[in-house]
């Protein structure tokens, strides 16, 4: 009986993995404000951050980007959620954006418990009851928007830098 339950669980996990991965293939691009998107993802994670007494500080420029806002928000929510989970209790996570004429840079820093691996297999560190998009699909979303991701350790803080190319026409319009 236990073997059959494990087999059913494996089949459900495989189905959910395939389902989530397949749903990520269709993108619906529109012009959106990346700062608003990051604030929205951050607000949904406030309770999780509060449980670990982690402050999230943001310095976000209002920058418009042609993107799939739903998928991009899922990606940033996954990244921020991992920062909260793997940062030391009673610490601060900083989210900063900077816009130049050719690039948008989003930098997220935190004081890690241990150096996290940003790109891992979807279920390499599977937790019960967690069926979010995972860091590998978050990375895929960033890269599908022609973004790049790099990570470093600086002054004992983990720094994740995400860069997107920006076309000037995305910034020159009136609402």
pLDDT (tens digit, 9 = 90+) per residue, 35-66?
999 999 999 999 999 999 999 999 998 888 89
Whether pLDDT at 175 is above 60: no
CATH number of 27-170: 3.30.565.10
pLDDT reported for residue 120: 47
pTM flag (> 0.85): no
Average model confidence (pLDDT) for the chain?
81
Beta carbons within 10 angstroms of residue 147's beta carbon = 21
pLDDT (tens digit, 9 = 90+) per residue, 128-154?
444 456 778 888 999 999 999 998 989
Whether pLDDT at 158 is above 50: yes
Domain boundaries, the chain: 27-170
Does an H or E element contain 135, and which? helix 134-144
């Amino acid at each position: 009986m236990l073997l059959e339950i494990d087999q059913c669980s494996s089949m459900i996990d495989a189905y959910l993995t395939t389902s989530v991965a397949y749903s990520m293939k269709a993108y619906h691009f529109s012009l959106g404000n990346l700062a608003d998107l990051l604030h929205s993802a951050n607000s949904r994670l406030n309770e999780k951050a509060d449980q670990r007494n982690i402050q999230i500080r943001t310095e976000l420029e209002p920058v418009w980007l042609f993107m799939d806002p739903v998928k991009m928000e899922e990606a940033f929510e996954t990244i921020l959620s991992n920062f909260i989970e793997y940062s030391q209790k009673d610490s601060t996570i900083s989210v900063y954006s900077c816009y130049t004429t050719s690039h948008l840079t989003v930098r997220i820093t935190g004081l890690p418990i241990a150096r996290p691996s940003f790109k891992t297999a979807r279920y390499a560190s599977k937790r019960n009851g967690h069926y979010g998009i995972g860091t590998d699909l978050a990375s895929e979303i960033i890269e599908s928007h022609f973004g790049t991701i790099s990570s470093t350790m600086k002054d004992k803080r983990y720094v994740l830098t995400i860069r997107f190319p920006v076309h000037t026409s995305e910034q020159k319009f009136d609402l």
